[in-house]
Structure 1
């Protein structure tokens, strides 16, 4: 017979940013250990609870003792365990004794041939694990494996012993149905008492009736919503109700919502206000200080503009909430006053006047200052702009790049680093600079994360590409290459940023040229700016620059391959396209669509296999193969037919390829199936006659080139 199980750790306030993961991990680890011991049925329902002061889990269908199990125990070779008369030897008796048996079981032993050796086995029954032992083991394993960000050491009540956990634990509950499971952990014995809300509980301590009454008793007696998801949903409901009454919308921020859910047990959403004069400060600054410092939810109007009202989530529900609101408003007023002061002070200096100060800010101890970095980015941005737009765009890219890092020296960005770029845009607009320059200063960090918007204009595109390429190239040059889950300089994100800009903006830029031209610009600038500096990249050596450029290109293609698979393309489709190392990444979506359409053709399987066969033949050929076919040496009807088909379809494939209609170009290849199949059925390529052999290889080379313009179709072969 099974009953439901509840386990709770009552702790001091847990780290809010870790609570959600700690709660789910505690439930998963405890359940997994109990299942491994056959104490929990496969269809058991698991409910995790996590609040600022508790981690708990409720598991249905938990047995008081696991079922007994029949076990075939391997003992030893029969020649070792039995003497000539078939009697047990001392080693066998010793082994049986260690298993709780004696000589009486010898007649029951089985003899099984394992290879050439006859081995003794004993079929026995192992008693199932009692819940007390199983839960004790599960608790120890779960606590030992919890993803605790920082372990805390604290003394137990005896004043001598100490234990380690994320926060001090004050009580342990373990209930199997209505019965206490006598386990202990962290110096605590299991009981049935817990604590409710610190200020609003009707009863403290709360004595649980059984495992199933946990959430209900905490809610009614303890004023606590124990479930993280339920508490989060209640906060969302209250936020929406309060915002609707004001005809406003709360800022959507899942991370903030999770953090606030981890700070309260009995949420109460209240509306606060601040002086409208603070709305003169850029709303990004106000929103950030409200969210980051105070954990408030800013409110926006229908146009997305910040209102001078906010929502706060209180953990108490006083009769008069005025004092709570007033206290929060006073704290926020000080925060906003600081932001306004920073904004006013920063605007007293121009961005251009801050440029020399970049030489005093270290970028990386092996790469120099932000001033040097600005020169690298500027040179790369100008080179890209020259390709994309000529003189005017180059001039704009030069100005934007020069000013792009200056907001790092402002008080506002010093206080809120997350606003870098954004504040640069505001200050540029305040100075009367064009929107092309101002938006480029903000947008050169984009995309900052997955799904983020791309730069809004051509200047921003040039600057964003330059900034990301500079970071990638210089970090690769000093060996700062991501390994495993370690990527301290977010190089994977920078690579994906380059990929997204090139593809989504469909830029006619060659990836190889982009990388090597950027390396050239960095190499040139490093000597012009600081010829005697030790903080140079390794690109002063041409071979090293070429090697690192190739390494970076490989890194970018690997990120691209992973990103395309995440978008739903198959590994075969991605491999077929990327194995050709297409240099204009904007073409890749069209190539992938063409490959997918080709793979759906009835002729695709046969042609892919034939293409793989042709590739293998050409790889094994020593020496060069001619680019032209001598029609006079085409003796067999099958090779004549294949050559004629190639001649017929070539104009169509070239025209559609040049027009970028890759799908149509690949579809034309369907006409090759019959002549290719006939060729391999009736023509021997590696014949004795060298001239015939070379001519047939030349024919296959033409076939291979026509088939693999858009993708390596052999990758589609199974």
Structure 2
């Protein structure tokens, strides 16, 4: 076996679960390489190539050693005072320790040799005895066996199978093996040499297998570790590398779509592409079609049934509308593909016919007629039925509209009444499509089908859109509701979930969030900010709580904390500095729509030459006021000019009289950046005050007056953000 050579390991198994294949392949190769590096058999910069196809997991690792280098080892034994007596001779305790470590101390000569290897050194507390030795490096056979065992044990297997395997020994019998799928082959090649390892009841060799039907050789003999991918490609008709196979499929999809018709494109779906890549070893994209009459069904239904059930790629025209053509990724490449095409067209037809039947049947009953049946659908055993939930969402939606109307400066009352009526109607019907056949078959279409059925019932487009949009945003980066009706109902729906779950103590943990409360909180945050809604968080939560009556405990305090925590995380992900986020959110701003403007103002303030000194002064003022409060001195922000004695405090007061009203006016107008820039002019008088004025004067009224001056300054400077949080 060569000193250094490339290593190949492959497990050949029955068809692996497609949705897990990519992670299985990455884990198998990654853990294998990690374990070999840890044992000194592979370099830190060794190139690792993961292979994963429906019937194999493999790894190719460059520059693997046949034997790891020997390692010098220093092992602490015991304190010198314990190991050696007054004459320097070994104590029984030392002899026993050495024997436990397998060191030969049976003869005087052996003991003397060992004592010569002992070293004295401090262990940080006392002088101790250390034994220097050399640990032989692991051989590849031993090291790979350990690495292979660890790689298999740590595979992220979704569900383990148990199967029987005939034992490979002199006595016939069967043993039980636990793995993701039955394994039938193991390859381990170091260069051209087989590494004698075993796993899952299999012994390593150099033979693997190609495509079930199109391989040119069976089995395939691998002459060298580096010949693996090419041998599978040429002799086995298999593209073993997951990423390469995925790229081939994507390229074929684009080419087939272009040939299928002008301006046609296949729907982009990364999850589906990954799944199909995990289903085929030799991809061959074919164009199929179905009857045009099925296009009368909403395209979301047809697309979902083709993608979810059949793993097909629907084709869209230039306008983004579904056509009656689709692409299928076959695992065989026959000379005449007509049978494969015809078979897939026959398979998809009954699926589409079912969708059309569900759609036609659902439209026979208006959505409103389904609402009473929600009383039979349990939402949560402590929060009642879906109908009770709908009533709560309606009540919260009405409260939101009232708050919006109150915050509006001067708009027609009729517009707000119309919004209230439409929001109430959308909230009432939002969950009705849960009882339709289509949503029963495809739960992913809830809301979407509600919109189609609402339009069929003749309801306004605003109401129909809101029925679909009240679930938005469904995931990170999803679009927000289109119109104000959808925003109101979406807010109400998410607040109902958050308040209800927090109210019964059903909180998310680090690992579990079954009711997606984090996503709901982020949805509320995004709507309040991105839609610039003039709503205050405490008022929103306060309006939602009464809808539950006595079902829940008041959750407003922990829920507000939860929302601000989610907001802080979101802002940091968006690139805002952690100090700036902390400074702004420390004030718990009620209008979340103002938070980005506050952050921009803090960012601009931080660039000013006065920023560092003012932040430090704010921190100092906060500490002074806190100590005064601890001393039970009543500090209010009122200042008496008659009690101002020192020139520096008079100068600061005069500067504040000139500066603070302008800064307050800018703050009230929403010009947070301008407000902080104006306040930056106070740096010089603030510095002078702390240089020349003794705050804790002996005279009580003078001391309280100076504290009041600082309190007024603190309030003025910390309206946009708590500037003390910016101090280093």
Q: TM-score range, shorter-chain basis?
A: over 0.9
Match of 1:561 in 2: 568
C-alpha distance after superposition, 1:167-188 (max 9, x if no partner): 1111111111111111111111
Query: Quick check: 1:614 aligned with 2:614?
Result: no
Alignment of 1:232-631 (within 5 A): 232-245=246-259, 246-247=261-262, 248-389=264-405, 390-523=416-549, 537-538=551-552, 544-545=553-554, 548-621=555-628, 622-631=632-641
Unmatched 5+ residue regions in structure 1? 524-535, 539-543
Unmatched 5+ residue regions in structure 2? 105-109, 168-172, 406-415
C-alpha distance after superposition, 1:203-229 (max 9, x if no partner): 111111111111111111111111111
Match of 1:8 in 2: 10
Distance in 1 of aligned mates of 2:312 and 2:214? 22
Match of 1:641 in 2: 651
Distance in 2 of aligned mates of 1:364 and 1:517? 21
Distance in 2 of aligned mates of 1:323 and 1:620? 86
Distance in 2 of aligned mates of 1:113 and 1:445? 65
Alignment of 1:33-112 (within 5 A): 33-97=35-99, 98-101=101-104, 102-103=110-111, 104-112=113-121
> What's the offset of the Cα at 1:92?
3.0
Query: Quick check: 1:680 aligned with 2:690?
Result: yes
> What's the offset of the Cα at 1:64?
0.8
1:551–1:83 CA distance, 2 compared to 1 (3 A): closer
Match of 1:126 in 2: 135
What TM-score, normalized by structure 2, do the two folds share?
0.94
> What's the offset of the Cα at 1:349?
0.3
Q: Are the counterparts in 1 of residues 434 and 440 from structure 2 also a CA contact under 8 Å?
A: yes
What TM-score, normalized by structure 1, do the two folds share?
0.96
Alignment of 1:206-245 (within 5 A): 206-245=220-259
Q: Are the counterparts in 2 of residues 44 and 61 from structure 1 also a CA contact under 8 Å?
A: yes
Query: Quick check: 1:196 aligned with 2:210?
Result: yes
**Secondary structure class of the residue paired with 1:72:** strand
> What's the offset of the Cα at 1:522?
2.8
Distance in 1 of aligned mates of 2:503 and 2:58? 49
Distance in 2 of aligned mates of 1:641 and 1:697? 16
Match of 1:698 in 2: 708
Match of 2:411 in 1: none
C-alpha distance after superposition, 1:514-538 (max 9, x if no partner): 0011111332xxxxxxxxxxxx622
1:564–1:116 CA distance, 2 compared to 1 (3 A): closer
C-alpha distance after superposition, 1:457-489 (max 9, x if no partner): 111111000000001111112221100120001
Distance in 1 of aligned mates of 2:211 and 2:92? 65
> What's the offset of the Cα at 1:116?
6.6
**Secondary structure class of the residue paired with 1:38:** coil
**Secondary structure class of the residue paired with 1:197:** coil
> What's the offset of the Cα at 1:84?
4.3
Query: Quick check: 1:661 aligned with 2:671?
Result: yes
Which residue among 143, 150, 153 is the counterpart of 2:152?
Answer: 143
1:551–1:113 CA distance, 2 compared to 1 (3 A): closer
Single out whichever of 148-157 and 340-349 deviates more from structure 2. Answer: 148-157
Q: Are the counterparts in 2 of residues 401 and 463 from structure 1 also a CA contact under 8 Å?
A: yes
Single out whichever of 171-180 and 624-633 deviates more from structure 2. Answer: 624-633
Single out whichever of 473-482 and 94-103 deviates more from structure 2. Answer: 94-103
**Secondary structure class of the residue paired with 2:508:** coil
**Secondary structure class of the residue paired with 1:57:** strand
Distance in 2 of aligned mates of 1:594 and 1:696? 29
C-alpha distance after superposition, 1:72-119 (max 9, x if no partner): 122223344334443334443443343444412212322224467432
Match of 1:533 in 2: none
The 4+ residue runs of structure 1 with deviation greater than 6 A are: none
Q: Are the counterparts in 1 of residues 637 and 710 from structure 2 also a CA contact under 8 Å?
A: no
Match of 2:181 in 1: 167
Distance in 1 of aligned mates of 2:535 and 2:380? 29
Distance in 1 of aligned mates of 2:123 and 2:389? 69
Which residue among 178, 182, 193 is the counterpart of 2:192?
Answer: 178
Distance in 2 of aligned mates of 1:340 and 1:644? 78
C-alpha distance after superposition, 1:253-307 (max 9, x if no partner): 1111111111111110001101111000000000000000000011111110001
Match of 1:27 in 2: 29
**Secondary structure class of the residue paired with 1:156:** strand
Q: Are the counterparts in 2 of residues 239 and 269 from structure 1 also a CA contact under 8 Å?
A: yes
Q: Are the counterparts in 2 of residues 383 and 394 from structure 1 also a CA contact under 8 Å?
A: no
C-alpha distance after superposition, 1:142-170 (max 9, x if no partner): 11111111111111123521111111111
Match of 1:531 in 2: none
Please give the root-mean-square deviation of Cα atoms over the aligned residues, in Å.
1.3
> What's the offset of the Cα at 1:387?
2.7
Single out whichever of 357-366 and 434-443 deviates more from structure 2. Answer: 357-366
> What's the offset of the Cα at 1:423?
0.3
**Secondary structure class of the residue paired with 2:258:** helix
Which residue among 681, 704, 723 is the counterpart of 1:713?
Answer: 723
Distance in 2 of aligned mates of 1:116 and 1:177? 50
Q: Are the counterparts in 1 of residues 41 and 67 from structure 2 also a CA contact under 8 Å?
A: yes
**Secondary structure class of the residue paired with 2:58:** strand
> What's the offset of the Cα at 1:319?
0.9
Distance in 1 of aligned mates of 2:645 and 2:81? 75
Distance in 2 of aligned mates of 1:116 and 1:320? 81
